[in-house]
Amino acid sequence: MKTLTVSTLALMLSANIAAAEGELFLYNWTDYTAPDLIEKFEAETGISVTLDTYDSNETLLAKLQSGATGYDIVVPSHNFVQIFVSEGLLQEISASELTGYENISADFASPSWDEGNVYTIPWQWGTTSFTVNTDVFGGDINTYDILFQPPAELEGKIGMFRSADEVISMAQLSLGLGLCSEDPNEMQQVLDLLLAQKDDVKTYSSDGILERLASGDVAVHQNWNGYSIRAREENPAMQYAFPKEGVITWADNIAVPVGAPNYDNAIKFVEFLMQPENIAIQSNFAGYSNGITGSADLMNDDLKAAGELSPPEGTPLVFSQTCSPAAVELQNRVWTALLQ
Amino acid sequence: MTRSRDIRWLPGFSWVTLFFFVFLYAPLIILVVFSFNASRSATVWAGFSFEWYTKAFANDDIQRAATNSVIIAIFATIAATTIATMAALTLSRNKRVKGKPVFGGVLIFPLMIPEIVTAVATLTFFAAIGLSLGLGNIIIAHTVFCIPFAYLPIRARLDGMDESLEAAAQDLYASKFTTLRLITLPLLMPGIVSGAMLAFIISLDDFIITLMVAEAGSTTLPIYIYSLVRIGITPEVNAVSTVLLGFSVIVVTLSYVIGKKNKT
Amino acid sequence: MSSIAEKLRVYTGLMPAVFVIGVFMIVPIMIIFVYSFLVAGDFGGVKPKFSTDAYVQLLFQKNLFDVSEFNPAYLIIAFRSLWIAVVTVLGCLLLGFPVAYYIASQPEDRRNLFLLLITIPFWTNLLVRTYCWILVLRDTGLINGALINMGLIDEPLTLLYTEGAVALGLIYTYVPFMVLPIYAALERLDVRLIEASRDLYANRWVTLRHVVVPLAMPGMIAGSILVFIPALGAFIAPDLLGGGKNLMLGSLVQLQFSSARNWPFGAALSMVIMAVVLLCLYAYARNVRKNGGGVQH
C-alpha cells in the first residue's frame, strides 16, 4: 500500500510538470492517431509524446474555453476552426513559413476556414453519407431517397446518427435546401420529412454503427467513409453512397492551443506532419485522405483502391458549415420536436 | 440440506439470488468470449485468436488509462468513505446536532445534479481557482460525487443498529473513543464495506465528469472507451476489460482467503 | 466563548463533508444557477445578460415561426423519464430485496464473498456491459437465435430498442445500489426476532412482512434514492438499448451543453430536476415516517 501511495504521488507530480523539456501533449479524437506515426516522431526528435483523447468538438471547445491548458496539439474540425479562433483559443503558427508547407495540396492550402493557414494545417478529411447493405437492396444507392423515401426492402431498417446537425443537413440536401437555414418555412419542411421518416428508422445512434450493419440489425446507416471501408472489408456487400444531391464533406485540422507548454515541439510536430511519408502512415491507419501532395503514392494498396475515398465526378462536395446561433436554435426546435 | 431447517429460509429467495447472479454475469461471459474474437468486431464472432491481448499489452495508452482509473478509484473511495463515515456517525449518534435534515440534504446533494452539469460546473470552478493537480483534480471531483454513495449504506446500517451496546459500554466507563473503536465501528463495518464498494465502482466507471475535469496526461479508461464507441468497440477493449476482471477476481479471492485465515 | 467552541465541536465530524461538498459542489452549482438566468453564448457558454428565457422555455416555446405557444415536449420527456425511473426502482426492489435477504442470512465469510461477487462485474465499463446486452437482445441476438433454433418462433421478437430493453438495462446498471444498502440494514437481523415471531405462530411470510421488512426499510429507502436519481438522468441505456427515438431527461440536458449550445437552458433544466427530486425525497421521507415504516427518529 505504501509503495502504491508513493508511486501514485510520483505519477501525480509527473502529470503536473507538463512543461518539462522534450515533451508533447497531443489531444485528439480516439483511435484517430496512428501509433507508428507517434513512434516515428519520437524516434526522430527524441520528444516524448503523451496522447489524450476526446469525443467531440464541443468537449474540446468547452475545455479550452474554461482555460484548461497543458495540451500542445488539438484537432478541431473545419467548421469549428473559426469558432476556436474567434474565441481566442488558438495560437498563430504561420504554417506558410514552416518547412514543408509547399506540400499542402491546392485544395487544402489556405482553406476558407483558415485563410493563409495562419492557425492550422490539414490532418485528415473525409465525407459523411451512408452505407447500404447491397444484399438487402440492389438498386441505385446514390441518392438521399434511400434514407428519406426508402424502398420497401429498407423500411424499418434505417440507422441515423444521433446528432441534430448531421441528420438535418442530409434532410436539407435531400430537399434541395441550403445548410444552416434560418428560414422557418424551410425548417418546417425538414421537420415534416424527418417525422415521415421516423417510422422507418430503427435507431438514432452515432455509436456502434459497424456492429449494427454487420449483424443485420439495420441495412442502411449514416456513416463516415473511413468506417464504411472497415464495414466493406468485413462484408463486401456494404457499399458507401455518394448521393448525387451532394455529399457532406469535413476536414479535421492540426492546431496549437493558446497556453501550449511546448510550443516549439508542437511546431516540430506540425512540420513533421507536412512530410508526405509521415502523414501517409496516418492515412493508412485511419483510412481517411489527407491534404498533403505526394502521400497518395505511399498509401497501402487497399486504401488506394478504396472507392470510398474518391467521390465520382460530378457529385458536389458540400463542406459542412458553422451555423449561426439563429440556425442552431431552429435546428434544436426541429430535433426536440422530432424526438419528444 | 440444512437450508430448509434454517428458520430464516424463505422459499424462492435462493432461486432469485441464483437468477440475480446469472443476470449479473451473463453479459460478462459474452464479453470474455469476444475478447478472443479474430475479427475487429466485438459482437460478431469470427474465430478464436489471442491477437487482441497482444495488442492491448502493447498499447501504452490503454494501460496508462487503466492504471489511472484504478489509482483514482482507490483514493476517491478512501476519502469519500472516511468523510461519509464521520458524517453519518455524527448525524445519527450526536443528539446535540441541529439541522439534521439540512446536513442530510447536503450529503446527498452531489447525487441530485445531472452529471453533465456537475462536470461543466466543476470544470468552470477548477479553472476559476486555478486548481491544477493532475490526477488530483479528478480525485477531488470523484470524492465529491462518491460521498452520497458511501454515506447512504452507512447511514442505513446506523439507523437500524441497536444503540444499547454502545450505551452499555459507556455505562462501563469506556471512553467515547474506545466505544467507537471497539463497539460502534465493528458493528458498522458491513455498512462501511457496502458504501466503499459502491463508491469504488462509481468512481471506476465515471465518464462525463472525468472527461471534463481531466488535465493533459490523465486520460482514464472510461474516457478511452467512450470515445472509441464512435467506431464501435473492438475486442481490444474486451481484452482489457477481461484483464481487469481477472485482476478483480484475484483481489476478491485473496481478500476472501485472508479473511478466512484471520478467523481461524 | 468556550460554550460556542463546545457547541461547534459537536459538528466536527460533519466538517470534512460540509467542506468538500460545499466548496467543490455547492459553489460550482451556484455558478450554474447564475448561468440559468443568463443568455446563451453563440458557441456554448453564456453572455452576461439577465434573462428568464431559459425557464420560460420549459413550458412555452416559440414555434418555428417565432410565435410563443404552450409546448408540452419537455413535460412529455420528463414524465417518460420519471416513469422509467419508477419502473427501475420497483424492479431493483423486487430483485434486490430477496437477494439482500438471502445474502444476509448466510454465514459471515460467505456473505462477504457474495458482496464481492456483486461488485466484480462493475470492474468492466458500463458501456461495454451495455453492448453485451445488445448482443443478447437484438433481432439476430442470442435470445432470438435460441428461440428460433428451438422452433418456438419463426420471426425474431423485437426485444431491442423497446422500453422494456431500457428498463432491463437500467435495472442491470443500478441493482447493486439497491442490494448493498438493504444488505447493510439486514445484516444485523437477529435470528431471535424471527424465532420469537415464529413462536407466536406467525408463518414465514407474516414474519417477513412484520419483522424483516420494517428492519430492511432504512436500506430500502437508501437504495431507492440511489437508484431513482441516477436512473432519472441516465442516458447510456436509453440511447443504446432504447434506440434513441425518444429523448430522456439525461440526454436532453447533455444536448444543451453540447451541440444545442444552450447552457442556460441546460442549467435551468437541471435546477428544475433538482427541485423536483428534492420535493420527491421530502414527500417520500414524510410519508415513510407517517406510516411508521420502521425508521427511527
User: Is there a common fold for A22-124+250-305 and A126-249+311-339?
Assistant: yes
Touching C: which chains, 3+ CB pairs < 8 A? Answer: A, B
How many Å apart are CA C166 and CA C86, to the nearest integer? 13
Q: Is residue B5 part of a domain?
A: no
Nearest-10 Cα torsion for A117, A119, A124, A128: -100
A21 to chain C nearest CA, in Å?
33
Q: Does domain A22-124+250-305 have CATH number 3.50.30.60?
A: no
Between B and C, how many residue pairs show a Cβ–Cβ distance under 8 A? 300
Between A and B, how many residue pairs show a Cβ–Cβ distance under 8 A? 115
C65 to chain B nearest CA, in Å?
30
Mean pLDDT in residue range C126-141: 85
Contact C242, C75 (CB under 8 A): no
Contact A73, A28 (CB under 8 A): yes
**Are B229 and A208 a contacting pair at CB < 8 A?**
yes
Nearest beta carbon to residue A203 from set C73, C76, C243: C243
Nearest beta carbon to residue A16 from set B43, B61, B133: B133
- Residue bearing cell 435507431: A203
Q: Does domain C66-229+238-245+273-290 have CATH number 1.10.1200.10?
A: no
pLDDT digits (tens, 9 = 90+) for A128-168: 999 999 999 999 999 999 999 999 999 999 999 988 989 99
Nearest beta carbon to residue C43 from set A61, A201, A205: A61
**C97-115 residues labelled b (16+ CB within 10 A) or e (exposed):** bbbbbbbbbeeeeebbbbb
pLDDT digits (tens, 9 = 90+) for C103-132: 988 887 788 788 888 888 887 888 888 888
Chain C CB within 8 Å of residue B147 CB: yes
One digit per residue, pLDDT tens: chain A, 340 residues?
444 444 444 444 444 444 445 899 999 987 788 989 999 999 999 999 998 888 788 889 988 988 777 899 999 999 999 999 999 999 999 999 999 999 999 989 999 999 999 999 999 999 999 999 999 999 999 999 999 999 999 999 999 998 898 999 999 999 999 999 999 999 999 999 999 999 999 999 887 788 888 888 899 999 999 889 988 988 899 999 999 999 999 999 999 999 999 999 999 999 999 999 999 999 998 889 999 999 988 998 888 888 899 889 889 999 988 888 889 989 998 999 999 8
Half-sphere exposure of A62 (CA within 13 A, CB side): 32
pLDDT digits (tens, 9 = 90+) for B54-94: 888 888 888 888 899 999 999 999 999 999 999 999 998 88
Q: Which residues contact A93 (CB under 8 A, 6 or more apart)?
A: A118, A119, A120, A121, A255, A256, A266, A267, A270
Long-range contact set of residues C17-22: C-beta below 8 Å, sequence gap at least 24: C17/B83, C17/B84, C17/B86, C17/B87, C17/B103, C17/B106, C17/B107, C17/B147, C17/B151, C18/B103, C18/B106, C20/B83, C20/B140, C20/B143, C20/B144, C20/B147, C21/B106, C21/B107, C21/B109, C21/B110, C21/B144, C21/B147, C22/B106
Q: Is residue B31 part of a domain?
A: no
How many Å apart are CA B119 and CA B207, to the nearest integer? 10
- The pLDDT of residue C2 is 58
**Are A214 and B233 a contacting pair at CB < 8 A?**
no
Enumerate chain A positions whose Cβ falls within 8 A of a Cβ in B.
Answer: 4, 8, 11-16, 18, 25, 27, 29-31, 35, 50-55, 59, 62-63, 66-71, 206-211, 214-215, 227, 230, 234
C71 to chain B nearest CA, in Å?
23
Name every chain B residue with its beta carbon within 8 A of the beta carbon of A70.
132, 215-217
Domain positions in chain C are 66-229+238-245+273-290
B172 to chain C nearest CA, in Å?
23
Model confidence at B4, pLDDT cuts 50, 70, 90, reads very low
**Overall domain count for chain B:** 1
Nearest beta carbon to residue C295 from set B115, B159, B229: B159
CA distances from C247 to A59, A164, C244 (A): 21, 12, 7
Query: C93, C84, C76, C228: which is closest to C164 by C-alpha?
Result: C84
How many Å apart are CA C251 and CA C238, to the nearest integer? 9
Name every chain A residue with its beta carbon within 8 A of the beta carbon of C63.
333
Burial class (CB in 10 A: 0-12, 13-18, 19+), C199: exposed
Query: Residue B254 is part of which domain span?
Result: 61-263
Nearest beta carbon to residue A11 from set B71, B126, B229: B71
For the domain spanning A126-249+311-339, the CATH number is: 3.40.190.10
**Are C278 and B16 a contacting pair at CB < 8 A?**
no
- Measure the CA angle with vertex A190, ends A189 and A196; round to 5°: 90
Q: Would you list the DSSP string of C245-286?
A: SS--HHHHHHHHHTTT--HHHHHHHHHHHHHHHHHHHHHHHH
Distance from chain centroid for Cα A291 = 14
**Are B40 and A230 a contacting pair at CB < 8 A?**
yes
Q: Return the C-alpha cell found at B257.
A: 482467503
**Are C139 and A217 a contacting pair at CB < 8 A?**
yes
* B109, amino acid identity: F
Question: Which CATH number do you get for residue B256?
Answer: 1.10.3720.10
Q: Would you list the DSSP string of A99-139?
A: TTGGGB-TTTSS-TTSGGGSSEEEEEEEEEEEEEETTT--S
Q: Which residues contact A202 (CB under 8 A, 6 or more apart)?
A: A156, A157, A158, A159, A212, A217, A218, C161, C243
Domain positions in chain A are 22-124+250-305, 126-249+311-339
Name every chain B residue with its beta carbon within 8 A of the beta carbon of A69.
216
CA distances from C188 to A325, B198, C19 (A): 59, 20, 32
How many Å apart are CA B191 and CA C181, to the nearest integer? 7
How many Å apart are CA A335 and CA A191, to the nearest integer? 8
C67 to chain B nearest CA, in Å?
30
